[in-house]
Amino acid sequence: MPAPESPSPTPEHEVSVVAVVVAYNRRDLLKEALDALALQSHRLAGVVVVDNRSDDDSEVVASEHPIGAEVLSLSRNTGGAGGFAAGIAHALSVFDPECVWLMDDDTIPTPTALEELIRAREEYPEPVALLGSRVVWHDGRDHPMNTPRRRPGATGDEIKDSVAVGAVPVRSSSFVSMLVDTRAVRFHGLPVADYFIWNDDFEFSCRLLRRGIGLYVPTSVVEHRTKVFGSTDVDPGERFYFEVRNKVWMLTRSPSLSPEERILYTGSSLRRWGRTFAGSSNREVLRKAGLKGLRDGIFRAPRPTVRVLDGAGVPTDEVHDIESGAGRA
């Protein structure tokens, strides 16, 4: 009588991940980013590139790249905030993945960057809302623009569980490699498109992590190829408007912070603005931009993301489906 055959091993579940890359006028870096995504040791279920009305041929680079990306070409520049809102909505509509991996076009992930994020996510004993990578500059130094701090008030168990998977519990994360569980997106909603640039990832990640779990995973490494090495204190010129307006919006209108955190972040924001002003080479520009941002932050509210993206070439039904279900998923 022949020996019974051994049962075939049950294949391990492979987490489905779609990368969302927001591109604007950096076609060479975009190509490098897509090349790096193609080399990931954890296979991607898809790639969505949002071209924010680039003046160069970024759209062509994305469309012709062998990775086979879904290219969402916008009719106007919606900033990083609008680009990620549109890209996430499109990724969920077309692919319905378990996670989306968010990055700008100047983010170059190392081959195991995604694998390490997935490993930490799967090994952690509870569901994780989002995970972030270690972000370095091209010379290997940790990039001060994207280096998170340990979550204030993290419990002993949270720290212990994080250390066990080679991670650190965090309260916020950056769009320079952020892996997000799509269940958290469906519950909390998309990035606020009206932020345009700056503090959009801070608000979005804080919203997801007010009661959710976020991890910083140092073994997942990406390069952030900014032109200069520095933090967000670097003299921003007229863009200081967005820093002030968006921070006021976040401190006064977003559900991302507790009352105690609003007080703490208000103090830290004022100190940061003071450092920025002190180091500026053109304080009059900063003064005017800051006052305008303060005025608009106080007297205006962010418009709904569906309305901001209307007419930009975004399938607004995709955005509406997520925003209308937020809080009820």
Q: Could you tell me the domains of the chain?
A: 17-227+302-325 (3.90.550.60)
pLDDT tens track, the chain, 329 positions: 344 343 334 346 799 999 999 999 999 999 999 999 999 999 999 999 999 999 999 999 999 999 999 999 999 999 999 999 999 999 999 999 999 999 999 999 999 999 999 999 999 999 999 999 999 998 888 887 777 888 999 999 999 999 999 999 999 999 999 999 999 999 999 999 999 999 999 999 999 999 999 999 999 999 998 877 666 556 789 999 999 999 999 999 999 999 999 999 999 999 999 999 998 888 999 999 999 999 999 999 999 999 999 999 999 899 999 998 776 44
d(CA 41, CA 78) in angstroms, rounded, equals: 32
Is the whole-model pTM more than 0.85? yes
Q: 20-61: per-residue pLDDT in tens?
A: 999 999 999 999 999 999 999 999 999 999 999 999 999 999
Predicted local confidence at residue 16, as pLDDT: 98
Give the list of residues 6+ apart from residue 99 with CB closer than 8 angstroms, or none.
15, 16, 17, 18, 118, 121, 179, 180, 181, 182
Which class for 104: exposed (0-12), middle (13-18), buried (19 or more C-beta within 10 A)? buried
Give the list of residues 6+ apart from residue 87 with CB closer than 8 angstroms, or none.
20, 21, 22, 48, 49, 50, 72, 102
CA neighbours within 13 Å on the CB side: how many for 208? Answer: 31
d(CA 256, CA 68) in angstroms, rounded, equals: 35
